[in-house]
Structure 1
Amino acid sequence: MPPRPRPPGATMAAAPPSPALQPEQQRAADIIRLLTLYRPLLDAYVIDFFAEGLWAQLPPPWQAALATAAPPQLAGLLGGHGGGPGATWPLSLLAFAAAARALAFPRGRPGGSPRPPCHSARLHPLLRRHVKPKKQHEIRRLGKLLQRLSQATGCDRVVDVGAGQGHLSRFLAFGLGLSVTAVEGDGRLAGTAERFDHELLRELGKMGVSRNEGPPQRHQNPPNRRRRLSPLTPRGPCHVAGRLDPAAPWGEFLLPPDPPGPGPTAKNPLGGAGGCGGGQRVLVTGLHACGDLSPALLRHFARSPAVAAVASVACCYMKLSTPPQPPGCPVGYPLSAWVAGLPGHELSYRAREAACHALDEYVGRLRGESGCLRAHCYRAVLETLIRAADPGKKHPGVQTVKKAHALSFPQYARLGLPRVGLDPAAIPLESEAVGAMLEQQHKVVAFFSLTQLLAPLVETLILLDRLLYLREQGFQCALVPLFDPRFSPRNLVLVAARAPLGAVLSGLDGDSSEDGDSSEDGDTDMGGPEPPREGQTPPAPSAGHEPQ
């Protein structure tokens, strides 16, 4: 383990005995040690598999074992269930896989049906409109957590930062009776959220529900879990279009939206008489707050007594800002003094991008030997052809070719090459060399599987860094696997409060039995996001929310 940094001026003789490390500190240090050992694997782009000879960089015993491994055997290696009949792994590979699984933060397995229905039966039908099943699962679970935080802190005002189209805000306000300010960096999304609110209010009006009615009655211990859904309150959220300024005081933290849209704007929506929040204590949340938005929420909580608690679910780690940054510009990683003081804590763009992958989903594709697995090989072969045709092009932005796995390689290449300014007719797409690379698809899949083992470690390190940042300032906080990881890969929520969290977290397990009611939405492109182009700055962090 790297040595702990000593205070300036301290000597070996004068230094007091080091206190015992917190489990989180030890875990962060151990993760960094493991990532440092396998840095070349962590930072490798699978599209460089042939162009840079990545297979030859693996230890020879690993090459021999992986070269003959079938996808279901790789699934067993990733999932910790062995490799199935005929699988024999080198001890060093087994140790690597076991260490990676042991150090990654546990994601839980909430109860419920393994084949959930299309929509959440626990949400009012009016709150399901425009909301995909995965998001229904998330807003209900996070909403219940925020309701518990509200009860524990005595604070019923919530600020939903990066609110997107307002699905979470709508559930908190209409469904749970909380006072909600929804802040969104894209003015167009804020305008859409208001339109959805008006639709819901019109439906409530048809049902005879008046705006003057109070919030629904809350039952701490309902006698029957199969009771009817609670009625909706007609008080909707207050929407504000603006981007977060992490350096501004809490009451003045908004910048104009980008791009401007039809949604409402306000310079100071949370502090002062004119704001939606009225300057009172608030709970702050961000559901899949992108890039630097999540650490900005934590900074505002840490320095703003008006923020009673925060519940943050992160995403898009590759958009985090890292050192060096211009003076006065805070970084998104690392936040804590502990992680920043550990040698080797740095995370490349590629490592942070890998942390956004869904390991459980990839294991499922391996187990089912999905045809989607060939997309990585196609892109790696294409990268080799691109560099041969134009050595100045490295990691060009081919972007996603839809249903690439259903195409032959020549069909795929004829779609991809024009996107980087190359003529497919001038490049041999069915040569013997291309055929030899395509026959190595199983090696490409095996190599990518190893990188997937490290992805949860990177996410764990980033989230531990945030938790340690809050602990260093004396706050109670916890990382909770709130969503079902089968449907929501980014399922870890960081909860912090200025009050004890025991009562808030103790009842969450009891709620999970009610939540087997969501499903994953959308297709995942197995080719993965394109790496940044050579010499190009990674995409700028977004202060908004993933579109819902």
Structure 2
Amino acid sequence: MAAPPHPTLHQEQQRAADIIRLLTLYRPLLDAYVIDFFTEGLWAQLPPPWQAALATATPSQLAGLLGGQGGPRATWPLSLLAFAATTRALAFPRGCPGGSPRPPCQSPVLHPLLRRHVKPKKQHEIQRLGKRLSQATGCDRVVDVGAGQGHLSRFLAFGLGLPVTAVEGDGRLASMAERFDQELLRELRKKGVPGNKGFPRRCQNSPRCPPTPLTPRGPRHVAGRLDPGAPWKEFLLPPDPPGLGATAKNPLGGPGGSEGGEQVLVTGLHTCGDLSPALLRHFARSPAVAAITSVACCHMKLSTPSQSPGFTSGYPLSAWVAGLPGHELSYRAREAACHALEEYAGRLGEENGCLRVHCYRAVLETLIRAADPSKKRPGVQTVKAAHTLSFPQYARLGLPRVGLDPATVPLDSEAVGAMLEQQHKVVAFFSLTLLLAPLVETLILLDRLLYLREQGGCQGGSREGVAAVPVAILPLPAGFQCALVPLFNPRFSPRNLVLVAARTPLGAVLSGLDEDGSEDEDMGVAEPPREGQR
């Protein structure tokens, strides 16, 4: 399949400007906490035509508004339809959420020994990321940063035979990863290397998925934290806590920038907060790093200039976005970007009982502030199976967690009953905030793409207001080759966009996305990148 045309620098800059303009218009909605629904009168802040339409909308109709299953509602106000359509048009496409709403209990395409200790969602991710991207970059060695318990590194090393260095800042996790490696090696010795016994029968009979024996060479583990501000030759800081896990030689140190002069692929699966932009900075200034694949998560943990004045922040990363008025993203906005729109649309379509939990928490917030006005949005740990409880049962479990005695709080008053009857409004309001969530994530990831473009000499144009059309001053080089690929099924892997960047054309990487589609028939297949996403 031919790749879509590469968007110009102008198109990427314009998308960023348009997103910021829309987010600025709907900033009150973006920054609203649904638990403040009653305490701050959030429903009354919506336009009256929206209130009238949403008050009678069914959950399945709200799912349609989010772009999930269910048809449009003929009586939606045009302004609401335009709002929803604009959010979908500006957000990066997130792939096709087909197939099952959850991954199978065990991946049918991973060797049984590689499935041990790995949750189904993670099995789906490491198989997709490892096989589809890591091999296609043509690198000699892989450095997996933020490796955790080593699941991706184990698949790359034992499953694909790649030389892998796994870097993890938590020494305890690094030690655990080494222990899991030793377990796998013992099993291989029992069965005899190459350890191809027990491979899934479906793959053995499929010409597109031949049996793949495991190799006896595992990853090398390094306990160390990434220093985002250090030169590329000074890659690591001591682990936390120090002394746990052997701190090995810097995986990017040595002649030519790597230990043996090889071309290195740096990868990070669900790199939290500032770790993902730190990896991009190291990629940009390290000649040994030929390519990078980054799956970001926990956007709310990104540092911003207001949080860390004088220090390098995680957002904004590009000079272009930093120069656009209104580019700032609040903690709440970045937190919203981590929500799973597809999963919530599925709950709406099923009219799942879990929908009542947001209303429960909003009512509880009202009771908490009435009892103690100094407590605003206190952390109430998740109440297990809250949707199966009555509100009084839920409140009796939640109030002690914020230091309040349930016996002193009226839990069955008429006021509480009146608020609980507005559950459908709470659900509708939260659905509106979810429409903006993909835009925030798109802006964060687009900022990183523009940063990589800028490293190759790209410059911006006019920034006279967010409505201005940015125009590239000169047809300068397009920076590094980079793309955002919707690689995972968004129904059960919400952070499914993989940022891929390389110093050479990415055609081989992206063309591999359409291969071996039968391997994902149980999970849904990711669609290739679209216009504006490469």
- Tell me the secondary structure at the aligned position of residue 516 of structure 2: helix
Scaled by the length of structure 1, the TM-score of the pair is: 0.84
Q: Does the CA-based 8 Å contact 1:477-1:496 persist in structure 2?
A: yes
The answer on 1:73 being equivalent to 2:61 is yes
* Deviation of the 1:250 alpha carbon: 2.2
Q: How does 1:223-238 map to 2 (within 5 A)?
A: 225-238=207-220
Distance 1:420 1:114, change over 3 A: closer
- How far apart, in 2, do the equivalents of 1:143 and 1:472 lie? 28
- Residue deviations 1:327-373 (CA, integer Å, cap 9, x gap): 65211111111111111111110010010011010001001111101
What code does the residue aligned with 1:333 have?
A: Y
1:366 is matched with 348
What code does the residue aligned with 2:349 have?
A: R
Distance 1:326 1:434, change over 3 A: closer
Q: Which of 274, 280, 285 is equivalent to 1:292?
A: 274
Distance 1:87 1:389, change over 3 A: farther
The answer on 1:105 being equivalent to 2:92 is yes
2:333 is matched with 351
Q: How does 1:196-235 map to 2 (within 5 A)?
A: 196-209=180-193, 225-235=207-217
- How far apart, in 2, do the equivalents of 1:172 and 1:185 lie? 20
- How far apart, in 1, do the equivalents of 2:373 and 2:99 lie? 53
What code does the residue aligned with 1:53 have?
A: G
Q: Does the CA-based 8 Å contact 2:337-2:438 persist in structure 1?
A: yes
1:494 is matched with 499
Distance 1:420 1:39, change over 3 A: same
Moved more, 278-287 or 34-43: 278-287
Q: Which of 43, 60, 69 is equivalent to 1:55?
A: 43
Moved more, 180-189 or 328-337: 328-337
Distance 1:408 1:224, change over 3 A: closer
**% identical equivalent positions:** 84
What code does the residue aligned with 1:506 have?
A: S
The answer on 1:510 being equivalent to 2:494 is no
- How far apart, in 2, do the equivalents of 1:92 and 1:194 lie? 56
Moved more, 75-84 or 238-247: 75-84
Distance 1:72 1:310, change over 3 A: same
* Deviation of the 1:203 alpha carbon: 1.0
Q: Does the CA-based 8 Å contact 1:150-1:156 persist in structure 2?
A: no
* Deviation of the 1:259 alpha carbon: 2.8
- Residue deviations 1:120-156 (CA, integer Å, cap 9, x gap): 22211111111112111111111123433442xxx22
Distance 1:324 1:267, change over 3 A: farther
The answer on 1:244 being equivalent to 2:213 is no
What code does the residue aligned with 1:287 have?
A: L
Gaps of 5+ in 1: 1-19, 214-221, 520-548
- How far apart, in 1, do the equivalents of 2:307 and 2:331 lie? 15
1:7 is matched with none
- How far apart, in 1, do the equivalents of 2:122 and 2:450 lie? 29
Q: Does the CA-based 8 Å contact 2:136-2:508 persist in structure 1?
A: no
- How far apart, in 1, do the equivalents of 2:173 and 2:17 lie? 40
What code does the residue aligned with 2:521 have?
A: G
The answer on 1:194 being equivalent to 2:182 is no
* Deviation of the 1:112 alpha carbon: 6.1
2:489 is matched with 484
Q: Does the CA-based 8 Å contact 1:181-1:238 persist in structure 2?
A: yes
* Deviation of the 1:108 alpha carbon: 1.5
Distance 1:494 1:110, change over 3 A: same
- How far apart, in 2, do the equivalents of 1:110 and 1:237 lie? 33
- How far apart, in 1, do the equivalents of 2:99 and 2:68 lie? 23
* Deviation of the 1:512 alpha carbon: 3.5
- How far apart, in 2, do the equivalents of 1:37 and 1:442 lie? 25
- How far apart, in 1, do the equivalents of 2:290 and 2:147 lie? 19
What code does the residue aligned with 1:379 have?
A: R
What code does the residue aligned with 1:503 have?
A: A
Q: Does the CA-based 8 Å contact 2:380-2:402 persist in structure 1?
A: yes
- How far apart, in 2, do the equivalents of 1:36 and 1:194 lie? 48
1:27 is matched with 15
Q: How does 1:436-447 map to 2 (within 5 A)?
A: 436-447=418-429
2:387 is matched with 405
Distance 1:82 1:481, change over 3 A: same
The answer on 1:143 being equivalent to 2:130 is yes
Distance 1:283 1:204, change over 3 A: same
Moved more, 400-409 or 73-82: 73-82
What is the aligned residue count?
485
Q: Does the CA-based 8 Å contact 2:100-2:522 persist in structure 1?
A: yes
Q: Does the CA-based 8 Å contact 2:208-2:516 persist in structure 1?
A: no
- How far apart, in 2, do the equivalents of 1:387 and 1:111 lie? 43
Q: Does the CA-based 8 Å contact 1:118-1:518 persist in structure 2?
A: no
What code does the residue aligned with 2:351 have?
A: E
Q: Does the CA-based 8 Å contact 1:111-1:515 persist in structure 2?
A: no
Scaled by the length of structure 2, the TM-score of the pair is: 0.86
Gaps of 5+ in 2: 1-7, 196-203, 456-478, 525-534
- Tell me the secondary structure at the aligned position of residue 52 of structure 1: coil
* Deviation of the 1:261 alpha carbon: 6.2
Distance 1:39 1:135, change over 3 A: same
* Deviation of the 1:82 alpha carbon: 6.4
Distance 1:301 1:241, change over 3 A: same
